Amino acid sequence: MTTATRTPYTPEELLEHFERAKPQGPNRWRVLCPVHVDTDPSLDVNYKDGKYLFACRSHGCSFKDIAAAAGLETERCFPDTGKGRDNGHYKTKPKATADEYPPPWEWKDRGLLEAVFPYQNEEGVTQFEVLRGKPWKGFKKQHRQRRADGKWTTDGTRPLPFMLPELLEDVAMGRTIFVVEGEKKVLALRQWGFAATCCAGGAKKWKPEHAEYLTGANVVIFPDNDRPGREHAEAVAKSLSGKASSIHVVALPGLPEKGDIIDWQAAGHTREELQALVAAAPEWIPVETATTRSERPTLANYRIEPTMDESGKPRKVAVPLPEITRALLDVADGWPKRINDRLFVDTGGAIRHLSTPDSLFAWIGEGHTVAWPGGTDADGNTLTPKAEFFESLRASVDAFQSVEEFPHEPEIAGSYYAWKILTNYKADGEALNGLLAFFDNAETPADRVLIRAMFLTPAWGGLAGLRPAFIITAPDRGYGKTTLADAVGSLYGGAIDLEADEARDERLKSRLLGDAALSKRVLRVDNVKTSQSSTQLEALITSSVISGHRLYAGETARPNYLTTIVTGNTVRLSRDLADRAFVIRLAKPKARPGWSENLGAYLESRRDHILADIVAELRKPVAATEARDRWQSWTSNVLARCTPGAAAIVAANQARRNECDDDLEEASLILDALRSRGLSFLTAAVATTVVNEALHVQWTTNKVTRRIQSHVEAGRLSGIERYNTGNTRGWNVA
């Protein structure tokens, strides 16, 4: 008899058996161990060579016990030895055509993967990787980036310099830091014993955040011998101006066109020669400073008058604060601007927050000459300090209620939009439909419509607090619930991720008001396993403004344009939460090798095209709908644009809400229990006993009374009426 081979778990399927999964690197996670009581994730899961390896760091639990407690099928954790599978995945991934370079997930199998460079945070945890592909059939070397969770995107990650843990030690030890263009050059210099770093992406990808890590360091920059390389070196030097203790730009002699430090080493030059070049190099001076040194600074807190002071020197006189502000706005085309009291600038579609005086002046210094001494002027007046100028700007420049890196349609009054629609793309729906084609396992046609509406909702410019929540549910693991929620978040720059218990936390608002959350459009509560009830979350969904305490900033607020997505298997919700949601059901998907990688690559490469299609969809004329729901504005402006059958979907969704409604089920049990006694009146004490037996709880009489009364007021306990007279308290039962 032949035994049927079980399909190995994909990482997504396996992780759904565990809670609190956190990426630790490529194909590595840390989760709560299901064998023992675990409040801090202690179980390491490693996916290697097609099999899963488990290591419990707390109790040393065995694989047998872990598999049993998590409900894993043992044979699905290891690779099939037959020829049809490789490392747990069928060999049917789409292949590149002859006229295109293979996608990065094929590089290893094709022998094209030359190197993988991990970018780690301060604690040494990998956040994303740069993959280097070899030249192939006339194509030059290729570079691609992916997050630590394996997705082909860097959404949600910070700009980090290469080899950050080593770099932090180098700066602390006072070592000179060499900055080059590319990870391979960093490693070559470190082999020579020098401290070196770079940024991901090569020329012109250096950001101000990279420069922050080099504050106080002596920095030497080696440009590649081409125009992009020289421009990159200049940009790095400018970003370090005012931060680094010294800056030197060293052009290596004798390099060929497009040559670099690797070519220089290969030509036979030595470590000692490099040291000599560095020692002889003059300190870098900004081009603006070099050419205008004798002229009046572009921005200064003083002016020089033609008259002389008592010592015969030109008189230095303080410039009034309003005049300095006007000067900055004139030379910087009206920038910066602010959200409440938080300054920001738009750097070509990417928002840069200026949260400190140092960050403000670093930005000013990148494009303008700055002269800003301390002390007093010739008349004894205090020259405006940088901190005072910073605080003045926070209170006086143009203010917006929000800053948006992605579109709203219609645009929301008072919001600043950094995103600009593509001018060379005809928004005909092709890119959006291509994205939706990845999610072809909707249970019904109505679910397909709701998935489309969910992708449109974060871009809808309706009033704050008028967006429903979405519940993505399925009967079991492996249906793609989390991936669907991830895709919505990724399209709009990443989601704010919450565990189910965090959604009940009173600190939820503080997190939503943090700098990292301000640009987010999607709030995701993932993998709900039990009945979900959260007054915090329920109130959040319908609140027009999210207000509360922001860390280190006191009381603050933001308009609520968030779209909330909850995922789970056969989710149970409180009545209030169910009423705030549209329920999407997924069917079991077909096996699609490479599906997750292809989805990530599609989102990364077509994001602006998809968003352009969504804006065009929300601009289309829409017919009036007969659909009636508490989310009437959203139903009329978003759902009705996705289907002429909006009314039928709203009616079907109401039935789904009832099925998810935990309160309705509880009320039914209470009603049956109260009537089961066959009495027309039950005292409060008797009613308490009856309810506790029916619900298998141990509530007090006061709690039972409040619970019954809430169901009565909601109309869920027909025929039950409160009776209080004299010393007799209880319930009339009809």
Q: Which 3 state secondary structure label does DSSP give 203?
A: coil
pLDDT in tens, 341-376: 889 998 877 788 898 898 899 888 887 888 888 888
pLDDT one-digit tens code per residue, 455-469:
999 999 999 999 999
Per-residue pLDDT tens for 205-251?
Answer: 899 999 999 998 999 999 998 888 888 999 999 999 888 888 999 98
CA dist 394 to 300, 335, 342, 390, Å? 18, 12, 6, 6
Backbone angles phi, psi at 195, to 5 degrees: -80, 125
User: Does residue 634 have a pLDDT over 80?
Assistant: yes
**30-52 tens-digit pLDDT:** 888 877 656 677 788 988 877 88
Residue 666 in tokens: 């509880």
Residue 509 has pLDDT above 60, yes or no: yes
Which two structure tokens, joined as six digits, stand for 298?
Answer: 């572009």
- The average confidence (pLDDT) of the chain is 84
pLDDT exceeds 70 at position 252: yes
Residue with the larger pLDDT of the pair 256 and 521: 521
Model confidence over 465-499: pLDDT tens digits?
Answer: 999 999 998 888 888 999 999 999 999 988 988 77
Question: At CB < 8 A and 24+ separation, what contacts does 279-288 make?
Answer: 281/220, 281/248, 281/249, 281/250, 282/248, 283/246, 283/247, 283/248, 284/221, 284/237, 284/247, 284/248, 284/249, 286/237, 286/238, 286/241, 286/365, 286/369, 287/234, 288/368, 288/369
Question: Residues 523, 564: contact at Cβ < 8 Å?
Answer: yes
Average pLDDT over residues 417-440: 90
Could you give the CA distance from residue 3 to residue 355 in angstroms, rounded to a whole number? 63
Q: CA 122 to CA 107: how far, in whole Å?
A: 29
% of the chain surpassing 70 pLDDT: 88
| pLDDT for position 490 | 92
Contact 442, 448 (CB under 8 A): yes
Report the Cα 154 to chain-centroid distance in Å: 9
Asked if residue 529 has pLDDT above 70, the reply is no
pLDDT tens-place string over residues 652-664: 998 888 776 566 6
pLDDT of 151 strictly over 70:
yes
- Mean pLDDT along residues 107-115: 89
Is the confidence at residue 614, as pLDDT, over 60? yes
DSSP, collapsed to helix, strand or coil, labels residue 187 as helix
Q: Which of 96-100, 271-275, 329-333, 728-732 has the lowest mean pLDDT?
A: 96-100
Of the chain, the end-to-end C-alpha distance in Å amounts to: 63
Tokens of 637: 């402006």
Residue 552: count of CB within 10 angstroms of its CB: 8
Cβ 198 vs Cβ 214: under 8 Å: no
3-class DSSP state of 452: helix
Angle value at C-alpha 598, between 595 and 602, nearest 5 degrees: 135
Integer Cα distance of 546 and 512 in angstroms: 8
At residue 127, the pLDDT reads 93
Which residues are within 8 A (CB) of 408 and not within 5 positions of it... i.e. 6 or more apart? 415, 417, 459, 460, 461, 561
- Which of 56, 45, 36, 39 has its CA nearest to residue 15? 45
Q: How far, in Å, CA of 634 to CA of 563, rounded?
A: 12
Placement of tokens 């005086």 in the chain: 357
Single-letter residue type at 108: K
pLDDT attached to residue 526 = 80
Residues 593-605: tens digit of each pLDDT: 888 888 988 998 8
What is the β-pairing status of strands 246-249 and 89-90? Answer: unpaired
For the stretch 117-137, pLDDT in tens is 999 999 999 999 999 988 887
Mean of pLDDT values over 538-544: 82
Is the model's pLDDT at 387 over the cut of 80? Answer: yes
Confidence (pLDDT) at 92: 33
Is it true that the peptide bond before 336 is cis, omega within 30 degrees of 0? yes
Determine the average pLDDT of the residues in 286-310: 62
Helix H or strand E segment including 712: helix 701-713
For tokens 């040291």, the residue is 275
User: Do the Cβ atoms of 347 and 204 come closer than 8 Å?
Assistant: no
3-state secondary structure (DSSP) of residue 515: helix
3-state secondary structure of 190: helix
Predicted confidence at residue 447, as pLDDT, reads 96
For 238-252, give one letter per residue: b (16+ CB within 10 A) or e. bbbbebbeebbbbeb
Q: How far apart are CA 306 and CA 314, in angstroms?
A: 6
Token couple for 687: 């009613």
Distance between CA atoms of residues 497 and 477, nearest Å:
19
More confident residue, 281 or 521: 521
Bigger pLDDT: 136 vs 583: 583
pLDDT value at 542 more than 70: yes
Which residue(s) pair with 582 in the sheet? Answer: 470
Report the alpha-carbon distance of residue 157 to residue 147 in Å, rounded. 8
Lowest mean pLDDT among 40-44, 378-382, 604-608, 721-725: 40-44
What is the pLDDT confidence band of residue 535, given thresholds at 50, 70 and 90? low
From 3-17, 89-103, 362-376, 541-555, the region with the lowest mean pLDDT: 89-103
How far apart CA 209 and CA 158 sit, in angstroms, is 8
pLDDT band at 3 (very low <50, low <70, confident <90, very high): very low
* pLDDT of 87 above 80: no
State the DSSP H helix or E strand holding residue 415, giving kind and residue range, or none if neither.
strand 415-417
133 class by beta-carbon count within 10 Å (0-12 exposed, 13-18 middle, 19+ buried): buried
